[in-house]
Structure 1
Amino acid sequence: MKIIVLDGYTLNPGDLSWHSFEELGEITVYERTNPDQTIKRIGNAESILTNKTVIDRTIIEACPTLKYIGVLATGYNVIDIAAATEAGITVTNIPAYSTAAVAQFTIGLLLELCHQIGDHSRSVHQGDWTNSIDFSYRLHPLIELSGKTLGLIGFGRIGRAVAPIARALGMHVLVTTRT
């Protein structure tokens, strides 16, 4: 089986090995693939892995040997699912990919909003704290998260991961979903 990774860098910036895929067949890994390179790179492959490279109807129709598309992300938005289904191509994704990392990043952004960490870091590096007449140096008023209410719109994997972190910081959590 011929396996093509169209945009390996997005998943693996160099700290992972693609070696185990060699047990499944011949693998070729491209760091990134531009739209005009996609059809040629897929060629006669049976399987492709992609993260951000768009696989639309034109590409699917131009690659008749394609049997499997693995999306190295949580969604299917880069794949023409209708065209893949019509062509009998199996499409999968990784539903739990990066859930913890996105939840941590969400809380990190919340902390940045409350404490302006970037501004304070730049100011300290410029020597402003050292030159301050006050020991308790701050550029902006601090906002304590404890006791505040966080509203989550959606309660999928990421929302369910953010909620306990927010609660650990003493926050009240409200949730709304479409379901």
Structure 2
Amino acid sequence: MKIVLLERNSAGTDVPVDCFNELGEVTSYPNTVTAQEVAERVGDADVIVCNKAPMKEESLKDCPNVKLICELATGYDNCDLAYCKSRGIKVANVVDYSTAMVAQHTFTLALALSQKMPYYDEYVKSGAYSAQDRFSNFDRPFYELEGKTWGIVGMGNIGRRAAAIATAFGCKVIFYSITGKS
């Protein structure tokens, strides 16, 4: 089986990907951007491992052996799923990829904004804090997350994880989900 890894670096260069070698003959590229590059690099491969490279008719029409596209992410926005289905090409993603990190990053940003971190970071670095004649500076008010309403669009793995964290902070959680599931 021939496997082409089109965007090896998108997995993170610190993440080993040599496990693919056990499955077949692997050709790896650091990054692939254009449809033309995809077509040239995939050629007669059976399996494509990618992230954002365009998986569309334009890039796959001259690649007759493709049976599987493995996304190195959760989304399929680079894939024309209808075209892949018409060709019998299966498309798979990485379930739970980045769920914890995206939820964590959501709260990193929320806390930075609610605590005015950019403003106070610059205030201290500028020397204004040490030059002032008072102990503290509360020119910009802080806000607690507790008691706030936290809105989430989409209750997939990431949305559910963010809801759990928001609840732990004492937030009321509301959500919208196109599937109606929570």
1:58 alignment partner in structure 2: 58
Please report how far the alpha carbon of residue 140 of structure 1 lies from its aligned counterpart in structure 2 after TM superposition: 1.5
Please report how far the alpha carbon of residue 101 of structure 1 lies from its aligned counterpart in structure 2 after TM superposition: 0.7
Give the TM-score taking structure 2 as reference length. 0.91
Q: Which amino acid aligns with 1:30?
A: Y
1:26 alignment partner in structure 2: 25
Distance 1:154 1:18 in 2: 31
Alpha-carbon displacement from aligned partner over 1:13-60 (angstroms, at most 9, x marks no partner): x21111111111121221211203111111211111111111111222
Q: Which amino acid aligns with 1:25?
A: G
2:161 alignment partner in structure 1: 161
Give the TM-score taking structure 1 as reference length. 0.92
- 1:34-53 map, 5 Å: 34-35=33-34, 36-53=36-53
Distance 1:60 1:31 in 2: 19
Asked if the contact 2:100/2:158 (under 8 Å) is kept, the reply is yes
Please report how far the alpha carbon of residue 175 of structure 1 lies from its aligned counterpart in structure 2 after TM superposition: 2.3
Aligned Cα root-mean-square deviation (Å)? 1.5
2:105 alignment partner in structure 1: 105
Counterparts in 2 of 1:139 and 1:52: CA distance versus 1, 3 Å: farther
Distance 2:119 2:5 in 1: 40
1:70 alignment partner in structure 2: 70
Distance 2:177 2:18 in 1: 41
SS at match of 1:91: strand
SS at match of 1:133: coil
SS at match of 2:54: coil
Asked if the contact 1:70/1:93 (under 8 Å) is kept, the reply is yes
1:16 alignment partner in structure 2: 15
Structure 1 portions without partners, runs of 5+: none
Aligned residues with identical type, % of pairs = 38
Distance 1:177 1:83 in 2: 27
Q: Which amino acid aligns with 1:2?
A: K
1:89 alignment partner in structure 2: 89
Distance 1:115 1:109 in 2: 10
Distance 2:133 2:165 in 1: 36
Distance 1:119 1:30 in 2: 42
Structure 2 portions without partners, runs of 5+: none
SS at match of 2:173: strand
